[in-house]
Amino acid sequence: MAAAKSVLLALDRIEQEAELTYEQLLVLETNLLLGAFASHDQHSDMRMDIDNMSYEELLALGERIGSVSTALSEEQFEKCLRRSIYRPVATEAKERVIDDIKCSICQEEYMEGEEVGRLRCEHQYHVSCIHQWLRQKNWCPICKASAEPSIMS
């Protein structure tokens, strides 16, 4: 609506033979072009109104679209994970960093002797938890860094 008002004001100026600057002419031209494109959407009949779709319609849409797998292969998984046995590390204040005591995926604290896996970004998880995660997505659940093994590995 504001664009239409500015166009009308510019047309009034032209009628009154007022001089328009080059910048004003560019703005007028842009508003006219954008207004023409906005009023005619040649693909409007192809657009879906997902805001007004029922749950069942959204499920059906999801089934039609499908999902894109970004999972790592087993070989890539083995290359990207550094496995170790969990040993609690006590600091001078006898407090441990939360990332080092709890798996961010299952929210369970690590038990001494459990197998943990560390990604390149240095975040660690239970091996079974991160394996399940990386079968769906190929990035760290915390920082979103790529979990794909580097080419030099």
Centre a 10 Å sphere on the Cβ of residue 135 and count the other Cβ atoms it contains.
14
Backbone angles phi, psi at 142, to 5 degrees: -90, -55
Q: What is the CATH number of domain 74-134?
A: 3.30.40.10
Higher pLDDT, 100 or 10: 100
Rg, C-alpha atoms of the chain:
29
Q: CA–CA separation, 8 vs 28, rounded Å?
A: 10
Q: Domain-by-domain residue ranges, the chain?
A: 1-36, 74-134
Nearest one of 124, 142, 137 to 67, comparing CA atoms: 137
8-42 pLDDT, tens digit each: 676 676 656 667 677 877 787 777 777 655 556 66
For residues 85 and 102, give the distance between their C-alpha atoms in angstroms, rounded to a whole number.
Answer: 14
Tell me: the pLDDT tens digits for 38-80?
556 666 777 778 888 899 998 998 888 877 767 888 888 888 8
Query: Distances from the Cα of 74 to the Cαs of 22, 39, 122, 127, 148, in angstroms?
Result: 62, 52, 20, 13, 11
